[in-house]
Structure 1
């Protein structure tokens, strides 16, 4: 549980820092348009901090980390999220500097794809754990 709490706290800190970076970087460069930097703060806080707080609650109630696929899922999700955040920052910086190029959207889309697969995988893990939990409780009640 401590590992899940620490990763959630990491994403909270990262999300807050990226929010300040967005505000200050655009102000410093006198940029008033739309940029993907504006999305980084929210993506990091929701998909990182809030999501892992929910994972922490599931861990406390159902011990989801006991699932044989949990460790691989955990690594995959974090790789996908860090990749997504990195690409959003990279593209946002390019947009602010006026050097954005169209091909970057497809590269950045890979992070979304990894996260999408990871979220489906997480749902499967939680479903199996809850089914096992219910089966164990049914036996105890007989």
Structure 2
């Protein structure tokens, strides 16, 4: 459970810092257009902090952590968030600076989203198994 708490806490800090970076970096560069930097704040808070607070609650109820499946979910999902948000940072910074965004940024962001999806699948498989175990022990 501590892993989920620490992850949520780190994502909360990164979410707040990314919002500050977006506001100050665009202001410093007199930029008022659309940029991926605006999305980093909400992605870190929603996909990071909020998800891990929910996982923390589910873990308390269903004892999810401690299993190999939970460990796999934790690292695959976190890798997906970090890669996706890092590519938002690169893409958004390049946009604000008026530089072209290399195609590798979009390809890497796609990999991040694939890892996010795989992590969520692992979480649902684990949760489904725990619910099935609870139903069998109750009945």
TM-score range, shorter chain: over 0.9
Shift of residue 76, structure 1, vs aligned partner: 1.0
Shift of residue 113, structure 1, vs aligned partner: 1.1
Q: Which residue of 2 aligns with 1:48?
A: 48
Greater radius of gyration (CA): 1
- RMSD of aligned residue pairs (Cα, Å): 1.1
Contact 1:67–1:129, Cα closer than 8 Å, also in 2: no
Shift of residue 66, structure 1, vs aligned partner: 3.7
Q: Which residue of 2 aligns with 1:62?
A: 62
Aligned residues: 138
**Structure 2 residues not aligned, in runs of 5+:** none
After the TM superposition, which parts of structure 1 deviate over 2 Å for at least 4 consecutive aligned residues? none
Per-residue CA deviations over 1:79-105 (Å, capped at 9, x if unaligned) read 111111111111110010011325122
Per-residue CA deviations over 1:40-76 (Å, capped at 9, x if unaligned) read 0000000000000000010000001143311122111
CA distance in 2, matches of 1:137, 1:10: 37
TM-score (norm 2): 0.94
Q: How does 1:94-113 map to 2 (within 5 A)?
A: 94-101=94-101, 103=103, 104-113=105-114
TM-score (norm 1): 0.92
